[in-house]
Amino acid sequence: MTGFLRNNRTILLTLVFLLGMIAFTFQGLEPKVGMSILLSGITLAALFFLIASGLSLIFGLMDVLNFAHGVIFVLGAFVGLSTLMNPRLLFNTLPFFLSAAGGVAIARHLGTPLWQRVNTERGRKILWWSLLVLAFALLAFGLRRFPIRTLNAFSITTVGGAVPTALAQEPLGLMIQRVAFLFLAGLPFGLAVAPRELRQENRRAALWKSIAITLGLLVSAFAILLLRDPGEQFILGLSVDWRFLLALTAGTLAGMLAGAGIEIVLIRPFYGNPVTQLVLTLGLMIAGTDLIEAVWGEESHPPMEPPSWFNGACRSDSLIAWFSEHCRSIDVLGRAFPTYRLFIIFVGIAIFIGVGILLKRTRLGMIIRAGVQDSEMVQALGINVRQVFTLVFALGSGLAALGGVIAAPFLGVFSGMGQIFILQAFIAVVIGGMGSYTGAAIGTLILGLARAYGDHFVAAGIDLPFLANTIKGSPAIARASTVLIMAIVLLVRPAGIFGKKE
């Protein structure tokens, strides 16, 4: 028994602290009010966790503090909103990404012999920058005067767009020309990011594999162009439930692709240089926010329409009754609590369990955990650590984008929502311990409960036995409470609750 307590001391102390926070939440409050605060705190914790878990995975494997994670969160929210309400935007932009990816796929295979011919470091730098300049020049030429704002001119209350699709989108012939230019732009970019060393593999088989991938991407791009009108009509004809599932899928995939691109282009060339990585991701956070505003506008959108499962104009008496009634709220000790918030909590728990199983019970998880401990040894065993890094970065970014879509019906959609959540996610990761997946979950739970109680304290005040008047605080106190908790934890455990000393 003594050995068990010694080995699990950190977990037990954390549980005691959490139970103390919950008991403090209920102190002096009606049970229904205390339960409402508790559930609100867990809801915030679930949203924080979807960002913090990705941050923890990325830092744990690659020692990269990715400040652009908040932009991925916002990107997921806007892509989900467009999929739900304005799918024509995706049908007219997705072919560009597919064709550019096709150019990258074939050029990456052909780029290694090119780099082998350049013997000096100065020559490699000149070639790398020249290829990037050419790629961006072709990209800018291919997308010049593209009517992105017209395509995106839709109202949240007018499904299908404020501007008719026939007037908003360009003719098929012009779109095919743009797709061709994007493919050409992908070629120099693929050469720039091609591996510098020849791999020990069947070159002919690898070439045919790259050709097959490129052809598949190009065929998909042209098929989407041909099907953009009936495709839009088909999606808008679906129920809101199916469109919401499509929004979750599209937002998550967009986040994964964006994360993979960030790792390949910005992070990979600067491994071992954390200052440069930090500056690049900070710059990307600012530039990414401006780019999102350029595409979707600076105005805030109302909360995205939730599925009909959580939108019935009624209040269910119990969770069992909700399965048949699909009410908007459920009775919790005599007080209504939105059922969509329960869905957010469920998603957070499911992601925690799913990623935990991935890390602990699968071969990929074993490789990731081994890479955290000793990436050079994993590389020596014949495993492509670079691909593992890209996969983990994409996985973490996908979780953040999923959080953005999940948060959209709860918070609304606006370009600054990522900056709010990324700060709380970083604080949660620091509290739980940098690189600890379990620590990220515990940290978000602590922050969620603290923030929910702080918001209640600001709104309703707190009664102390030795004071006659109720004490009320400003909203700044609720926001500062999370920073105060972080400071206290770091004073007691500088490495975080589950962090390890270097």
pLDDT digits (tens, 9 = 90+) for 91-114: 898 899 899 988 888 888 787 778
DSSP 8-class letter at 273: -
Q: Measured in whole angstroms, how far is the alpha carbon of residue 467 from the centre of its chain?
A: 46
| The pLDDT of residue 159 | 46
Q: Is 371 exposed, middle or buried (0-12, 13-18, 19+ CB in 10 A)?
A: buried
Question: Where are the strands (E) in 353-411, listed by range?
Answer: none
- What is the distance between the alpha carbons of residues 316 and 331, in angstroms, rounded to a whole number? 6
pLDDT tens sequence across 302-344: 778 888 888 877 888 877 888 788 888 888 777 788 888 889 9
Return the minimum-mean-pLDDT range out of 115-124, 334-343, 390-399, 401-410.
Answer: 115-124
Q: Give the pLDDT band (50/70/90) at residue 122.
A: confident
pLDDT at 18 over 70: no
| The pLDDT of residue 411 | 83
Backbone angles phi, psi at 301, to 5 degrees: -105, 145
Q: Which of 120-134, 158-172, 200-214 has the highest mean pLDDT?
A: 120-134
Return the minimum-mean-pLDDT range out of 195-204, 217-226, 251-260.
Answer: 195-204
pLDDT at 249 over 90: yes
Q: Give the pLDDT band (50/70/90) at residue 250.
A: very high
Q: Which residues contact 478 (CB under 8 A, 6 or more apart)?
A: 451, 454, 455, 457, 458
Domain ranges in the chain are 10-308+335-492
> pTM to 2 decimals?
0.85
Among 130, 134, 116, smallest CA distance to 194 is for 116
Q: How many CB atoms lie within 10 A of CB 397?
A: 33
**What percentage of the chain exceeds 90 in pLDDT?**
15
3-state secondary structure 299-358: CCECCCCCCHHHCEEEEECCHHHHHHHCEEEEEECCEEEEHHHHHHHHHHHHHHHHHHHH
pLDDT tens sequence across 435-472: 788 888 888 888 888 888 777 776 666 655 555 555 56
**C-beta separation of 65 from 281 below 8 A:** yes
Q: Which of 262-271, 292-301, 417-426 has the highest mean pLDDT?
A: 417-426
Helix %, strand %, coil % for the chain, to 5?
Answer: 75, 5, 20
The more confident residue out of 157 and 44 is: 44
| The pLDDT of residue 332 | 79
Tokens (6 digits) for 150: 């017209």
10-20 exposure pattern, b = at least 16 Cβ within 10 A, e = fewer: beeebeeeeee
pLDDT at 158 over 50: no
pLDDT tens sequence across 31-72: 777 788 888 888 989 989 988 888 888 877 777 778 888 899
Q: Give the pLDDT band (50/70/90) at residue 157.
A: very low
Q: Number of C-alpha atoms within 13 angstroms, CB side, residue 157?
A: 1
The more confident residue out of 298 and 408 is: 408
**What is the mean predicted confidence (pLDDT) over 208-216?**
86
**C-beta separation of 244 from 306 below 8 A:** yes
| The pLDDT of residue 182 | 93
| The pLDDT of residue 417 | 84
pLDDT tens sequence across 74-95: 999 999 988 888 888 888 988 9
The mean of the pLDDT values for the chain is 80
